[in-house]
Amino acid sequence: MKNTVSKQKISPFGLAMVVVGACIGSGIFLTPQAAAEFIGSEAYIILAWLIGGGIVLAGALTYSELAGLFPGAGGVYVYLKEAFGKRFAFLYGWSVLTVITSGSIAAIAFACSTYANELLGGALTENGILALTIGIIVFNTIIHSLGIKVGEIFNNILAVVKILGIILLVVIGVYYSAQIVGESTEVTTVASTPKSIWTGIALSMIPILWSFGGFQHATFLAGDARNPKKSVPSAMISGILVVTLLYVFVNYTFIHLLGVSELAVSKKAAYDAVSSFSSSGGFWISLLIVISTFGSAFIFTMSAPRIYYAMAKDEVFFKFLARRHKQFDTPANAIILQSAWSIVLVIFWGTFNDLINYVTFLEWIFLLMAGLAVFKFRSVISKDKYVFRLPLYPVLPLIFGAAVIGFLIVVLSSGNEPALYGLILLAAGLVVYEAYKRINK
């Protein structure tokens, strides 16, 4: 009798941990400073993070409706394809592969190595940090090529440790902040009028929304999930709620350990906050950031290749990316391609660093378009085809869309570089798309 291996599927809990792990990288340990600087009032800082969480939750609910309609591998790529065609969806996948996710993996792995070097007392040279960064990417590639369940187990452990580490930071920080009298917990309101407060909240959405980026990665894994029509929506919603609560408590802790005025000028918010009550705080924060950044790079290595796999299945990208590993049933070729390009970006980091920062805003344009696709589908798909219909329609997708548009306008207001490099990247993608179509014919 022939032995058969049943196709492995990621569990609903595993998908929720993907959302949590993808969102929580190094951002939350650094961005509280920017929000404090823009706003300058404890109550409004907390409100800003709740608003940010609410905006992303509106997006997650919108995507949940789409996930119920189109539960295939690639998530956002599939929604864009169904709404706007293969060419537009290809440009999203092209951007994710060439810069957005591959660049994020390179940046996050590099940050992980840098903080690991701090734990080692600066024992690594520049080449040593480079070698460790590449080693992290290679390790993640091997693990995810061995099967979705292997990757899920690793990710669950990393995400749970990350959550527990943040909870421990909050509990200990709140305890010690209660021992501090007056000075460091004094709230200084920088913005003096309601108008300036709300302007500050609007500006703070840039670092806050960056910190929430990653919730959509659960949709990429829909093709490898159990009952994706239900598990993907529940994972995004529960994951965002957990991340929002953690972010709010972290900010509350930092404010009460440092005070708003000191937090607003801090270059390393988490380090300064923990150092205020522990001489070894720097070590523990560095360890938590190492775990957090490693976990984020781990998730991105697992999730995004499902987009390239879907592109290949649609015959708009290299055919070898559509092959799954015979034994482990993973899109191993797509995973290896992404990791190889990430390593190239690591090696030439000085050249590509600014480019990656400039064009990652492109992802939010695609996320905006995918969210707005819900209006098109509501008009052409009958009600009985829906597994999940988001509440408060059309309010929630409009809130998400308006917030993202505002976010993009503020990003571009500081200069035209993102638009310029984004257009160059998209133009290159169009050339590749048309060339591949002709060659494939």
Q: Is residue 2 part of a domain?
A: no
What's the pLDDT tens digit per position in 74-123? 999 999 999 999 999 999 999 999 988 998 899 899 989 999 998 988 88
Q: Is residue 383 part of a domain?
A: yes
DSSP H or E stretch at residue 419: helix 417-440
**Is it the case that residue 4 has pLDDT exceeding 50?**
no
What's the pLDDT tens digit per position in 346-392? 988 766 666 666 677 788 899 999 999 999 999 999 988 898 898 88
Residue 60 Cα distances to 251, 302, 330, 388, angstroms: 23, 20, 26, 12
| Three-state SS at 368 | helix
Q: Where residue 37 sits, what CATH number does that domain have?
A: 1.20.1740.10
Q: Is residue 5 part of a domain?
A: no
What's the pLDDT tens digit per position in 164-202? 999 999 999 888 887 764 444 444 445 444 457 888 888
Helix %, strand %, coil % for the chain, to 5?
A: 80, 0, 20
pTM of the model: 0.89
225 forms beta bridges with: 10
User: Does residue 279 or residue 367 have the better pLDDT?
Assistant: 367
**Is it the case that residue 40 has pLDDT exceeding 90?**
no
Q: Is residue 328 part of a domain?
A: yes
Indicate the average pLDDT of the chain: 87
What's the pLDDT tens digit per position in 226-273? 888 889 999 999 999 999 999 999 999 999 888 888 898 888 888 888
**Is it the case that residue 330 has pLDDT exceeding 50?**
yes
CB 179 within 8 A of CB 251: no
Per-residue pLDDT, averaged over 117-131, amounts to 90
Query: What is the token pair recorded at 134?
Result: 């590449």
Per-residue pLDDT, averaged over 392-405, amounts to 93
User: Does residue 418 or residue 48 have the better pLDDT?
Assistant: 48
The tally of domains found in the chain comes to 1
User: Does residue 157 or residue 203 have the better pLDDT?
Assistant: 157
User: Does residue 163 or residue 279 have the better pLDDT?
Assistant: 163
Per-residue pLDDT, averaged over 204-215, amounts to 86
Amino acid at 183: E
Q: Is residue 4 part of a domain?
A: no
C-alpha span between 257 and 275 (Å, rounded): 10
Q: Is residue 6 part of a domain?
A: no
- Provide the domain limits for residue 148: 12-440
For the beta carbon of residue 431, count every other beta carbon within 10 angstroms. 10
What's the pLDDT tens digit per position in 294-325? 999 999 999 999 999 999 999 899 889 988 88
- pLDDT computed for residue 3 by the predictor: 37
Q: Is residue 3 part of a domain?
A: no
- pLDDT computed for residue 331 by the predictor: 92
Q: Is residue 1 part of a domain?
A: no
**Is it the case that residue 224 has pLDDT exceeding 80?**
yes
C-alpha span between 222 and 431 (Å, rounded): 29
C-alpha span between 161 and 154 (Å, rounded): 11
